[in-house]
Amino acid sequence: MELLSYDFIQRGLLAGILIAVSTALIGVFLILKRFAFLGAGLSHAAFGSIAISFLINADIHLTTVIFTVLIANLIEFLTQTRKVPGDTAIAVIFSSGMALAVIILGIAKGFGENLFSYLFGNILMVSKEELLYSFFVFLLTISFLLIFYKKLLITTFSEEIARVKGVNISFINYAFVSLTAVVIVASIKAVGVILASSMVVIPAMTGILLANSFLMSLVYSCLISVFSVISGILVSFKYDLPPSGTIVGISILAFILSFVLRKLPLK
Amino acid sequence: MRIVEVNNLNFSYDGRYKVLENVSFFVEEGDFLGIVGPNGAGKSTLFKLLLRFLKPQSGEILIFGKRIEEFRDWKSIGYVPQRLSVEHTFPGKVKELLFSVSHDKRETEYLIEYLKIGNILEKQFTKLSGGQQQKVLLAIALSSNPKLILLDEPTTGLDIHTLNHLINILLDLNSNHRKTIMMISHDIGTLLKYSNKILCLNRKVCYFGNPTGAIEFIEEVFGLRGILDGAS
């Protein structure tokens, strides 16, 4: 309990919980829409944007959010218009973001260490502004889901049926990928570019495996995600481990455990 | 009243190979139109054009007397798709799905009663049998109280008991609830028996009219001469 008296631990825990809920909620929809890889694509695209921000000395958060939202919409456009398959579009964006960052690192010196810190993130270094951004992302995610829950559910089930039922599929999909981009940028601070997609995919998949309804898959995903973040932060601090890896490691353990639980006659 | 009217419809996915060529037919209020044709004949494509998922290269589609480009009342059409590509881990319960498209709780409860699906409401959709899934999809299609119902191969893979049950529901909807039905099926015998009109499609319209006169054309399209004797 002594740990909780530290200011930076409190900030880290609070930001972590807000990000954990946001990533878990969008993760369930992304997995069921077979778009789970979008998180990885966007986080790596965001890395390219962070490098640009360093290069031109721009506001990192603002630049990265705008850039990542634009990239997310580009992926959705390419997928919707069937110009490129969705997974291929994501793979191209993924590689482009990393290539951009590597080139910028090669031509500009002096900020390599700062840039690399975004690769692995550190939730214990969250600033007040970043905590505020996490809170904004949390509110946005919750509001979006509350307003569009029924439409998102039927769209995830079948876009064709949803369209006949009068759902504006285009709007829902573009709005959803934009929200995903905003959430991914927040999760980069928690676990870094490399592991950001893990926060989106692993607790959500665990929740889906354990749940016997759509609503409960969202609830379980959030609980597992929040548990992973809280225990990850406390364990990493106590045993001097990197928080990002510990958070994701714990969520992977929960995922493995869920397989075992599914075999037991609990439901 | 003509519910659907299609005039000289042409469609191609790649701009070269025509999937549908000069297709014309109409569906009147209260009709049960059976659509038959071999695989790749353009049957599902036709439904996608009627639902505006695809746009034709040329031709005209009128829905409830309105040009499809101006038609907005999609809730007056119910659609049961051929194949759902639902993720097998999709955890949604039948109840969650039904109420996600429902605008009227009492209407939905009536549908549950009518289709006798009260016993599967708490079950996950992906864990249902083929017949149960078809009934849920029909319930979703009926949830907006549509006047026209499009069914794309709803009987595929059903056992004879489930098939008869589903057909009885469709006949009741058609005759007692005045729903106009368009149904694609490879079950030619069933369509010849219960439809009042048949559209035989093989990229072009091979036959459009009453079931009695359809047999000869269907035999020719499928290469089944003699097999359908007595089907109607």
Going from the first residue of chain B to its last (232 residues), give the mean pLDDT of each consecutive group of 10, the final group possibly shorter: 94 90 95 92 94 94 95 92 84 96 88 92 93 91 93 86 89 93 91 92 92 81 60 47
Chain B hits for A158, Cβ within 8 Å: 81, 84-86
State the pLDDT at residue B229: 53
> What ipTM was assigned to the predicted interfaces of this complex?
0.86
Write the pLDDT tens digit of every residue in A72-86: 999 999 988 877 888
Q: Do B96 and A214 touch (CB under 8 A)?
A: yes
Distance (Å) from the alpha carbon of A266 to chain B's nearest alpha carbon: 16
Instruction: Give me the architecture of the B2-85+146-222 domain, per CATH.
Output: 3-Layer(aba) Sandwich (3.40)
> In whole angstroms, how far apart are CA A121 and each of A9, A186, A244?
15, 10, 7
Distance between CA atoms of residues B23 and B34, nearest Å: 16
Write the pLDDT tens digit of every residue in A192-246: 988 889 999 999 999 999 999 999 999 999 999 999 999 999 999 889 999 999 9
String of DSSP letters for chain B:
-EEEEEEEEEEESSSSSEEEEEEEEEEETT-EEEEE--TTSSHHHHHHHHTTSS--SEEEEEETTEETTT---GGGEEEE-S-----TT---BHHHHHHHH-S-HHHHHHHHHHTT-GGGTTSBGGGS-HHHHHHHHHHHHHTT--SEEEEESTTTT--HHHHHHHHHHHHHHHHHS--EEEEE-S-HHHHHHH-SEEEEEESEEEEEE-GGGGHHHHHHHHT-TTTTTT--
Domain boundaries defined on chain B: 2-85+146-222
What is the domain class of A2-259 according to CATH?
mainly alpha
Chain B interface includes A153 (CB < 8 A): yes
Chain B hits for A215, Cβ within 8 Å: 96
Chain B hits for A165, Cβ within 8 Å: 74-75, 101, 140, 143-144
Q: Is the pLDDT confidence value at A91 over 80? A: yes
State the pLDDT at residue B14: 85
Which residue, among A35, A81, A170, A214, would best test binding to B if mutated, counting the most B CBs under 10 Å from its CB? A214
Domain boundaries defined on chain A: 2-259
Q: Where are the alpha helices (DSSP H) in chain A?
A: 7-32, 38-56, 60-80, 86-107, 112-120, 128-157, 159-164, 169-210, 214-238, 243-263
Which residue, among B73, B90, B143, would best test binding to A if mutated, counting the most A CBs under 10 Å from its CB? B90
Distance between CA atoms of residues B36 and B192, nearest Å: 10
Q: Strand B148-152 to strand B180-184: parallel, antiparallel, or no bridges (unpaired)? A: parallel
Chain B interface includes A66 (CB < 8 A): no
Distance (Å) from the alpha carbon of A170 to chain B's nearest alpha carbon: 12
Q: Is the pLDDT confidence value at A267 over 80? A: no
Write the pLDDT tens digit of every residue in A101-136: 889 888 877 777 778 888 888 888 888 888 999 999
Q: How many CB atoms lie within 10 A of CB B40?
A: 11
Identify which of A153, A161, A215 has the shortest CB distance to residue B79. A161
Degrees, nearest 5: CA angle A232-A123-A30: 80
Identify which of B77, B87, B97 has the shortest CB distance to residue A164. B77
Local structure of A1: helix, strand or coil: coil
Write the pLDDT tens digit of every residue in A5-64: 888 889 999 999 999 999 999 999 999 998 889 999 999 999 999 999 888 888 888 999
